[in-house]
């Protein structure tokens, strides 16, 4: 059997009602939490004795993540005896990826697998972030069965950058160049003929550097050096910042994305004047932050209006939307980014991911939370965090305040 077939595969619907009934039951067993449900019913607050735990109104799995997990579980059921590969991680959560590995779903870009080894009999799952066009072409050329879980919100960003490429407008993508979603988006920004251009900008410092170049030019080599790995091949800041269109990774901080748009629009106006013709043809933008990211950020802003002693943000350390929740919380109160309940050695000894140092560290915090005085602890979680991990965190917090799981369930 040829491993280089280009013959189109018949699409198999893995989401049939009978498969989905079994999938839902299994997903619920793995990720559901009665305690989190109880919080929801009570408006997100539980007080036992002197201890209050607040849970944000919106947290945890988003629609895109739920769909991706359902499709991965359904693939295992439908393609029972076939090899199944996943391009990287289905979502950014180690627990969910561990469950899939336990089901025999292998990482296509891990040390033990490669696209080269795929055959027509294999199944490849595309994660919720999507995948780069070059990777998709290689997989299609192998004739594999593809189960595409790319979130619809990610596809809207692709639609936008493809439109920019068609109009010969350079895409400025607000995101992290190494993030799977941004890599997938960047590959679409090159358009159908591969000649389009893009520049990925992460910070407002980088934005100011680009704005200065737009206004008065600068050292081309220094520019390319600074943005090495963040632009399309052949990108030339002297030519390709003439007409730009902004899009963003779906999970960015909304206020920062808006600021980036505003600064770039102003730089273009300063360079070319503010006539309507100039502004419309030289600068376009489209807010592509997804609804789920926005809701989780808004819910946290809302929760921060209440008095709390500390905030725990639960999620995978490489999760972009979770990172932004940590940034929001850190501006208001002591905030700890934890991957699971095991990070809580005690309420004043916490292992957490430090965003500035880019690594997990151990911190000591207020002794007061160990005492019997009143304490309020806030909890939220990113869009890729399952409820069972949130539940384990809540139980651990309450146990450390001397409250047993039985008391929580009875209350």
How many C-beta neighbours within 10 Å does residue 360 have? 14
Smallest CA-to-CA distance from 126 within 7, 399, 138 is with 138
Can you state the angle between helices 387-400 and 34-41, rounded to 10 degrees?
80
Q: How far is the CB of 30 from ligand SF4 (least distance, A)?
A: 18
Q: Choose, from 66, 89, 181, 391, the residue flagged as catalytic.
A: 181
Among 99, 145, 248, 251, binds ligand SF4 (CB under 6 A): 251
- Nearest distance from residue 326's CB to ligand SF4, in Å? 16
Q: Which residue is nearest to ligand SF4 (CB)?
A: 64
Which of 70, 89, 122, 153 touches ligand SF4 by CB under 6 A? 153
Site for ligand SF4 in 383-402 (CB under 6 A): 383
Q: How far apart are CA 376 and CA 299, in angstroms?
A: 17
- Of 194, 61, 220, 68, the C-alpha closest to 129 is 68
> Which of the ranges 139-147, 149-157, 259-267, 364-372 carries the binding residues for ligand SF4, by CB under 6 A?
149-157
Which position among 144, 292, 377, 395 is part of the footprint of ligand SF4 (CB under 6 A)? Answer: 292
Which two tokens mark 1?
């059997």
Q: Does 290 help bind ligand SF4 (rule: CB under 6 A)?
A: yes
| Rounded Cα gap, residues 399 and 408, in angstroms | 10
Farthest CA pair distance, the chain: 71
Given 33, 185, 186, 293, the residue binding ligand SF4 (CB under 6 A)? 293
Site string for ligand SF4, 64-93 (x = CB under 6 A): xx----------------------------
Closest approach of Cβ 64 to ligand SF4, in Å?
Answer: 2
Is residue 349 part of the annotated active site? The answer reads: no
Can you tell me which of 51, 186, 207, 321 binds ligand SF4, judged by CB under 6 A? 321
- Residue 63 Cβ, how far from ligand SF4 at the closest point, in Å? 6
Closest approach, Cβ 110 to ligand SF4, in A, equals: 22
Are the CB atoms for 54 and 379 separated by under 8 Å? yes
| Size, binding site for ligand SF4 by CB under 6 A | 15
Strand order in the sheet with 198-201: 198-201, 170-174, 244-248, 283-285
Query: For residues 157-176, which are near ligand SF4 according to CB under 6 A?
Result: none
Range 110-139, binding ligand SF4 (CB under 6 A): 128
Q: Rounded to whole angstroms, how far apart are CA atoms 242 and 205?
A: 20
The secondary structure of residue 82, as a DSSP letter, is: S
Retrieve residue 368's tokens: 């007061």
Give the separation between CA 264 and CA 103, rounded to whole angstroms.
47
* Alpha carbons 176 and 201: distance in angstroms, whole number: 7
Name the residues annotated as catalytic: 181
Residues forming contacts to ligand SF4 in the complex (CB under 6 A) are 62-65, 128, 151, 153-154, 250-251, 290, 292-293, 321, 383
């Amino acid at each position: 059997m040829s491993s280089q077939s280009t013959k189109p595969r018949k699409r198999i619907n893995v989401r049939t009602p009978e498969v989905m009934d079994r999938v839902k039951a299994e997903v619920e067993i793995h990720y559901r939490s009665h305690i989190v449900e109880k919080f929801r019913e009570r408006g997100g607050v539980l007080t036992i004795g002197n201890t209050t735990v607040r849970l944000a109104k919106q947290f945890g799995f988003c629609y895109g993540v739920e769909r991706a997990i359902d499709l991965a579980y359904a693939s295992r059921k439908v393609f029972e005896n076939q090899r199944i590969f996943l391009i990287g991680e289905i979502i950014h959560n180690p627990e969910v990826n561990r469950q899939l590995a336990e089901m025999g779903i292998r990482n296509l870009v891990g040390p033990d697998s490669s696209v080269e080894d795929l055959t027509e009999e294999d199944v490849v799952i595309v994660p919720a972030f999507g995948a780069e066009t070059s990777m998709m072409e290689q997989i299609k050329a192998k004739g594999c069965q593809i189960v595409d879980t790319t979130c619809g919100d990610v596809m809207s960003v692709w639609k936008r950058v493809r439109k920019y490429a068609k109009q010969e407008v350079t895409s400025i993508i607000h995101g992290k160049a190494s993030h799977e979603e941004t890599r997938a988006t960047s590959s679409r920004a090159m358009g159908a003929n591969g000649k389009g251009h893009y520049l990925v900008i992460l910070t407002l410092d980088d934005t100011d550097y680009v704005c200065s170049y737009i206004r008065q030019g600068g050292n081309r080599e220094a520019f390319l050096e600074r943005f090495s790995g963040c632009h399309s091949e052949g990108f030339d800041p002297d030519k390709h910042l003439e007409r730009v269109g902004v899009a963003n990774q779906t999970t960015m901080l909304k206020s920062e994305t808006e600021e980036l748009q505003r600064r770039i629009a102003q730089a273009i106006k300063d360079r070319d004047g503010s006539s309507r013709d100039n502004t419309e043809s030289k600068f376009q933008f489209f807010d592509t932050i997804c609804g789920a990211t926005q809701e989780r950020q808004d819910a946290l802003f809302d929760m921060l209006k209440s008095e709390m002693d500390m905030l725990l943000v639960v999620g995978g350390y490489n999760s972009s939307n979770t990172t932004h929740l940590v940034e929001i919380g850190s501006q208001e109160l002591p905030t700890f980014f934890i991957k699971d309940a095991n990070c809580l050695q005690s309420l004043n000894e916490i292992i957490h991911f430090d965003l500035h140092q880019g690594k997990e560290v151990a911190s000591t915090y207020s002794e007061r939370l160990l005492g019997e005085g009143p304490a309020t602890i806030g909890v939220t979680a990113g869009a890729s965090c399952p409820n069972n991990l949130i539940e384990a965190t809540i139980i651990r917090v309450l146990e450390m305040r001397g409250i047993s799981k039985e008391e929580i369930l009875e209350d």
